[in-house]
Amino acid sequence: MKNRSPYHLDGVPHLGEAVPLGLQHILAMFVSNITPIVIVAGVLGISSEDQRYLVQLTMFISGLNTLMQVYSLGTVGAKLPIVVGTNFAFVPVAITVGLKYGYEGVMGACLLGGFFEAFLGLYIKKLRKFFPPVVTGVVVLSIGLSLLPVGIQNMAGGLGSADYGSLSNFMVGATVIGVVVLFKHYGRGIWSTSAVIIGIAVGFILSIVLGKVDFTPMAQVGYFTLPKPLTYGFAFKIDAILAMALMYIVSAVETMGDMSSIAMGGAKREVTDRELSGGIIADGLGCVLASLFSILPTTSFSQNSGIIAMTGVMSRFVVGVGATILIICGFIPKIGALFSVIPASVVGGSLVMIFAMIVISGINLITKEPLAGKNSIIVSVSLGLGFGLGNVPEALAHFPETIQLIFGGSGIVVSGGIAVLLNQFLSVSKEKEAVLQEAQ
């Protein structure tokens, strides 16, 4: 019998439900979405006025690229509730390239890199055999584990904040967690599925009472600005392009993990070949569009797959409503500015739970088969080295800078790469052993 729930993949909840459900997706990713461009622009000496405009463009393109994934254009797009935002993983490479070749060099490398990732998406079906549930589970689990510290950092007030780690910040974050748990567990219908946004709303009100909210940014932006492409030009440098191409492989692996997390967390199934291919192609072409509007590469956001796993709401319409909100923010900067004044401790409280749900999705994938023999070796070695190096990046201090950037960040690439290699090697070894036993 066909699932008629308004929360399934093609379900269409009433706007009274869809708006708050879509809004909680945006609130969960908003700060992480605009932070990369602020960091890179600040290091490269881009003016404050241009920075604010680039933030506006970031919201606009994130909304468009989300719609591309949700509803697709032919074979482009996964047709899954994927929320797209600026990829933090590109920040170190963008800074390195920008300091050497200027922001135009960053955009040129991003443009060609986007086409490269889209090309990878065309052949992802042939590569699917390298990613059984135990391997994709390791990638998803690595994503969740690598993000948990980010949730705690936000809950503490955000790195660099004057009151980082203060009791009041943790009190706000704990309040958000408590409200989310109460509404998720005891609430019914919209009160349960909207638990995240209710928790954030309560935390925001508490932050206002405690004097933690500064509304100054809202006064610094206008009411309407038209997004325009090609604010910056392009410069094409071979070393910058190669460095970015490697990072796009990383982005593709993370997107595969996010799609697997969404499919498992929201529909209790594995992601299909069509979804994988369309998702990776859209991820690449979305980055091409991002570079045309002079912003950093975009990708799927793991926190949003965590929301789907926690709420069970997999409706593409809900995420489409969230994407529309982002696009509106691209035209009306004051709305985006309102989101930006929400304290990090408020968002962090919800992120801790959201990221933990990604971990659960990874565990569910890994345990689809008994966690013994070959699978136990794959999980233990890949997570041990990947998560270990991700938390001790200085261990790679004597390696080339490119290696450090790719393998010393979150550990996701190391875990995923080792899992793929071990899965193939141990499978081949077992087949050879079986052949030898038959020969005897």
Which of 80, 18, 75, 22 is CA-nearest to residue 316?
Answer: 80
Give exposure, 175-191, as e/b (b: 16+ Cβ within 10 Å).
bbbebbeebbeeeeebe
Question: Could you give the 3-state DSSP secondary structure of residue 72?
Answer: coil
Where helices occur in 123-237 by DSSP H, the ranges are 124-127, 133-155, 167-186, 190-193, 195-209, 216-219
DSSP 229: S
Question: Could you give the 3-state DSSP secondary structure of residue 298?
Answer: strand
DSSP 36: H
Question: Could you give the 3-state DSSP secondary structure of residue 76?
Answer: strand
Question: Nearest 5°: CA angle at 307, between 304 and 308?
Answer: 95
Distances, alpha carbon 180 to alpha carbons 10, 309, 332, in Å: 26, 14, 30
Tell me the C-alpha distance between 72 and 336, whole Å.
26
How high is the pLDDT of residue 393? 78
Strand boundaries in 291-361, DSSP class E: 298-300
Which of 49, 341, 391, 28 is CA-nearest to residue 214?
Answer: 341
Q: Are 325 and 28 in contact (CB under 8 A)?
A: no
Query: What's at 431, amino acid-wise?
Result: E
Query: What's at 332, amino acid-wise?
Result: I
- Per-domain residue ranges of the chain: 15-135+213-342, 370-440
Question: Could you give the 3-state DSSP secondary structure of residue 84?
Answer: strand
Q: What is the mean pLDDT of each run of 10 residues along the chain (440 residues)?
A: 69 90 85 80 81 88 95 91 87 83 94 95 82 84 81 86 92 94 85 85 94 84 85 89 83 85 84 92 96 94 83 91 92 80 86 82 84 90 86 82 66 82 80 54
Which of 119, 113, 120, 103 is CA-nearest to residue 288?
Answer: 113
CB half-sphere exposure, 9, CA atoms < 13 A: 19
Q: What is the dihedral of CA 83, 89, 95, 96, to 10 degrees?
A: -150
Tell me the C-alpha distance between 33 and 326, whole Å.
11
How high is the pLDDT of residue 1? 41
Could you please report the per-residue DSSP string of 382-405?
HHHHHHHHHH-GGGGTTS-HHHHH
Tell me the C-alpha distance between 262 and 307, whole Å.
9
